[in-house]
Chains A and B, each alone.
Chain A
Amino acid sequence: MEQDKPNRECLLDKTPQATLGKPLSRSEGLAKVTGTAPYAAEYPIADCLEGVLVTAPFARGTIDSIDKDTCLAMEGVVAVIDDERLTSRPAQGTAGEAPVQKPRQIDYFGQPFALVVAETFEQARHAAKHLEFTFTADDLSQVSFDPEGTESERQEETRQGDLAHAMAEAKHAVDARITTAGHASAAMEPHAAIAEWDGSNLTVHASLQMLNYNISEIADSLGMEEDNIRLISRYVGGGFGSKLGISQECLAASLAAMTLEKPVRVVLSRQQVFQNIMRRSETTQRLRLAAGADGALNGFGHEGLVSNLPKESFAEPILQSSQFLYSGENRLLGLDVARVHRMTAGSVRAPGEAVGMPALEVAMDMLAEETGVDPVELRLRNIPDAHPVEGTPFSSHKLAECLKQAADSFGWEAGPRKPRQRREGEWWIGTGMASAARVHNISKAKARVTLKPDGTALVETDMTDIGTGTYTILGQLAGEMLGLPREKVLVELGDTRFPRGSGSGGSWGASSVGSAVYVACQGLRRELASRAGVNEDDVSLKDGRIANGPSLVDLLDGKDLSEEGFYEPGDIDDDFVAAGFGAYFAQVRVNRFTGETRVDRMTGAFGFGRVLNQKTARSQCQGGMVWSIGVALTEALHFDPQDGHLVNCDLAEYHVPVNRDVPELDVIMVEERDPAASPIQAKGIGELGMCGGAAAIANAIYNASGARVMDFPMTPDRVLAAMP
């Protein structure tokens, strides 16, 4: 099915099974917490050799020669793989082709260029540290590491009217420079792969998010046919964008297995994960807001500088939601990219809005103060009726409702605000808020649904479940459509032998693959109706039978009934702007002596279309809010100014929030149906929870302490420096 028009009448609102939306626990949860769900590196494969990547100890240059013999003489060492097909960088999400290979040309500190394979992991790790090689490193003064002060190119620009003029004439204007730090995905499971080769076919157990693209990336890198490759990724211990494209371990394991004709496992060390896998670019942003006395925007400017390695097309898309979130006749939005020799920049959860929205929403808070308009009211006054430049209507828009519901639940005191009004002992206490917005992404996807003679159903697609609940919601969807309780639906994912799904990323998994399952089930319903001799529109399926009619077992008559569903977005995005919206409110305390900030409580309200499972959706929202705390207060990649290497490359020094940093998170899911977003009227939810939340915390820091910090994360030193 190709979607060209809104699906206003969705079957899912009429089906009687009532499993969809229920807060069911993840079906694989027990296996995961009991350690019986095998992750990529854990498949019990006999006689598996172990590979460890060797990385470059310099920033840019070439590896000239590798002395394999000394290394091969070490105990247990089987091979040194330096095949030209090893990749030097991970593939960008949805690339579907080989990433930059040329392993001997070094573009960043810590880039892998060879693999040492040994009988045991310890032997391989030891030998990898002792591989001898010669290299030519470029003079560091000729290599750029810091985007500030490096020449940049404009990647994208939107202009309408005259922003400079609007700023000059405005009753109230804000012109703010805000920076955000680089981030790591910091998934718990490190990147890992086990490759097996039978002489003509390659099987890779990997930890990947998008098998449908990954198989093409591997095939292209190796010069193989996709038909000879099988990828398996049943359980993924967190991805957050870092496993969208293949990374170095996949090809290294594959090439080693093909060379040695034995299975080979390659697991990146935590340090290698940090040093090689996609980082989120740091950003420097300029926000210009021109408003009248009532706060109505007449000018809107958002420009930013981000960075990446040469030859990478990805640029942290910080302007995505700024294009349409607020009105303002005169607009200038621009994105610049500087080429620096840090590891590849790519997608980390909510690429773009994760850092673009916090900057915008801090500027909006400054405008609220400037105009004396309540921050919630200011946002309400600036919600456009349609896309401010293109004039396209919104498919569905719940910002106002989210703002109101969250404000209510939080107990927001409306009115003009003044900082430093409440102190308890050492702590300044204050509140802040921000809007959330995230573009809705959707992709083509296939899924096969089979009704089994015993009246159960099987869903198969190469879609992955990265811990978000995909197994569960696809089972609920199929159950709802086919009139089966969730436990009668078996869901099999993460294997390229199944029809190609969308992969998990960009929050598009549930709506894309969910729509494919929906389409497949529609086909099955049609067939069942015809077999039962009833009109398709009158079919009502519940608990394994047609209402007042035969059971599925009878209709199937001992045979499988299978249907492959195909869904494709079509031209609908020309006609509508589809996005998820929301609002955050936070109360923080700021220590007046030390500048330490702790979040006391946080409320988020989100509208993201149909809720497929109340529990897994809530978890996604909460997870996003936890990440918002990280963006606001703790997370930052630190790069050495001299050679550009990442200095804090483990979980002790890259500070994601810990339990104690996260208070009770109040999540409100605002009822919504978005008929243009997908046939099942659902939108993405995996990322929306962190698209602006950091600003609610930043604004609360200001309200509490009077410290208007312009740099994320707001660590104690920065808060102190900004404290009046």
Chain B
Amino acid sequence: MKPFRYSRPDSLDHAGQLTSDADARAIAGGTNLIDLMKLQVETPQQLVDINTLSLGEIADAENGGLSIGALATNTATAAHPRVRSDYPVLARAILAGATQQLRNKATTGGNLCQRTRCYYFTNIDQPCNKREPGSGCGAIDGIARLHAVLGTSPHCIATYPGDMAVAMAALDATVQIIGPAGERSVPVRDFHRLPGDTPEKDNVLEAGEVITAVTLPAPVGGKQLYRKVRERSSYAFALVSVAAVVEMDGGRIARADLAFGGLAHKPWHDPRLSELLVGEEPTAALFDKAADLLLEDAQGYGENDFKIPLARRALAATLAEATGAEL
């Protein structure tokens, strides 16, 4: 671990000033950042402990929505009565992630910003464009079991590994950000980026910007499911996951907001799926068409080829469960 300075900002502005230094990092629960610092993957000169800020609140928001503070723990969010009753997909996604001990420390902001679990990213003796731009990508010709099949680039095929944000993408939540240029809001669906030729940037946060909260829109009805396919039943990242918010009306699909984990550098949301599904009767053939659309441009890298058929099956299973269709 590289020696670093440690500071405790007394205001959001102060936090912004401190983190605008390229070598500074905000620390919230520390469950991701400290692991990476021990491995010298992250080598900040300065840690800005934002736990001094009061960003832990979960409160009603305008228009019947809900605001989840950046420092609310994953445990608190998943247990919140409104999350459980109005946004069950979010509670389910959070509870499908990590372990109780980790969730007790993990925060909304930290979870959104958690880094990829690519094995080459976390091993400083291996090439990795994300960790060290220009050094190459070890995973492309290596063990790409965890890696992406959608939206990859020749520079990086990593996935965003989390669960919480996948549910937030399905719910069309918004990330609230404050920074040197003031406040801004970014839909969760646009918060993470595709790697392109700058895989070192996971998301749209700029230096000095801090997440203050995530707001959920007014609740909708219907079924909310989170299906996470993984190698063991707990404490494993998703091979593929599906978050679904689905409403039925007279035997036809009235709403189908879907997002996918484990497939891409970001929680994957494809607006065309909803267009295709809404207004239709749920059938195996329809689900297949949806999968065709979703996976149109999917590309495997050997070790992860299985994700393509797996995503198809997970999608069908989730839609069947949500709509009551027989498969």
A residues apposed to B, CB below 8 Å: 55, 57, 75, 109-110, 122, 125-126, 129, 269, 271, 426, 591, 593-596, 598, 633-634, 638-642, 645, 647-649, 652-653, 655, 657-661, 715-717, 720-721
Contacts and interface: CB of A to CB of B under 8 A. Distances in A.
B310 A720 contact: yes
Contacts of B124: 129
A129 B234 CA distance: 33
Question: Which 9 pairs, one residue from A and one from B, show the smallest C-beta to C-beta distance?
Answer: A717-B306, A593-B317, A57-B125, A647-B119, A660-B233, A660-B234, A594-B229, A593-B313, A647-B143
Contacts of B235: 652, 658
Contact of A642 (B40, B141, B316): B141
B182 interface: no
Nearest to B313: A593
Contacts of B325: none
A720 B309 contact: yes
B1 A716 contact: no
B3 A126 contact: yes
5 contacts: A126-B3, A271-B123, A598-B233, A633-B231, A647-B120
Interface in B208-257: 227, 229-237, 239
B80 interface: no
The binding surface of chain B is classed by DSSP as: loop
A721 B306 contact: yes
A258 B316 CA distance: 65
A648 B119 CA distance: 7
Contact of A645 (B125, B232, B233, B239): B125
B234 A658 contact: yes
Interface of B: 1-3, 38-40, 117, 119-120, 123-126, 138, 141-143, 145, 227, 229-237, 239, 306, 309-310, 313-314, 316-317, 327
A591 B229 CA distance: 10
| A55, A126, A642, A645, most chain B CB atoms within 10 A | A645
A594 B317 contact: yes
B32 to A, nearest CB: 11
Contacts of B145: 638
Given A640-B138, A645-B125, A720 B233 contact: no
Given A648-B119, A658-B233, A125 B125 contact: no
Contact of A634 (B123, B126, B143, B232): B232
A655 B117 contact: no
Contacts of B231: 633-634, 655, 715-716
A381 B3 CA distance: 68
Nearest to A721: B306
B1 A125 contact: yes
B119 A657 contact: no
Nearest to B138: A640
A569 to B, nearest CB: 41
B119 A426 contact: no
A657 B120 CA distance: 24
A633 B119 contact: no
Contacts of A122: 1, 3
A305 B179 CA distance: 59
A720 B231 CA distance: 13
A358 B125 CA distance: 36
Contacts of B1: 122, 125-126
Contact of B141 (A129, A595, A638, A641): A641
Contacts of B232: 633-634, 655, 657-658, 660-661
Contacts, number: 97
A109 B126 CA distance: 11
B244 to A, nearest CB: 14
A75 B3 CA distance: 10
A593 B306 contact: no
A658 B229 CA distance: 16
Contacts of B119: 638, 647-648, 653
B143 A640 contact: yes
Given A426-B317, A642-B141, 20 more contacts: A110-B125, A125-B38, A126-B1, A126-B3, A129-B124, A271-B39, A271-B123, A594-B313, A596-B230, A598-B233, A634-B231, A638-B119, A640-B143, A645-B126, A647-B119, A647-B123, A647-B142, A657-B232, A658-B233, A720-B313
B178 to A, nearest CB: 32
B241 to A, nearest CB: 11
A655 B310 contact: no
Given A596-B229, A658-B234, A716-B229, A640 B316 contact: no
Contacts of A129: 40, 124
A599 B310 CA distance: 21
Contacts of A426: 317
Contacts of A126: 1-3
Nearest to B235: A658
Nearest to B239: A716
Contacts of A593: 313-314, 316-317, 327
A639 B145 CA distance: 12
A75 B314 CA distance: 53
A716 to B, nearest CB: 6
B117 A653 contact: yes
A659 B233 CA distance: 9
Contacts of A639: 143
Nearest to A56: B125
A661 B317 contact: no
Contacts of B237: 652
A594 B117 CA distance: 22
Contacts of B123: 271, 645, 647, 649
Nearest to B316: A593
Contacts of A715: 231
A652 B161 CA distance: 13
Contacts of B236: 655
A595 B123 CA distance: 31
B311 to A, nearest CB: 10
Nearest to A74: B3
| B120, B125, B234, B317, most chain A CB atoms within 10 A | B125
Contacts of B309: 720
A617 to B, nearest CB: 27
A396 to B, nearest CB: 37
Contacts of A271: 39, 123
A721 B306 CA distance: 8
Contacts of A649: 123
B230 to A, nearest CB: 8
B236 to A, nearest CB: 6
A110 B123 CA distance: 11
Contacts of A716: 229-231, 239, 310
A87 B237 CA distance: 36
A717 B234 contact: no
A128 to B, nearest CB: 10
A269 B39 CA distance: 10
Contact of A638 (B143, B234, B239): B143
B159 to A, nearest CB: 13
A649 B145 CA distance: 14
Contacts of B239: 716-717
A565 B316 CA distance: 68
Given A634-B231, A715-B231, A716-B229, A641 B2 contact: no
Contacts of B120: 647
Contacts of A638: 119, 143, 145
Nearest to B102: A652
A245 B126 CA distance: 30
A110 B234 CA distance: 29
A162 B62 CA distance: 82
B233 A661 contact: yes
Contacts of B141: 641-642
Nearest to A629: B232
| A595, A641, A647, A653, most chain B CB atoms within 10 A | A647
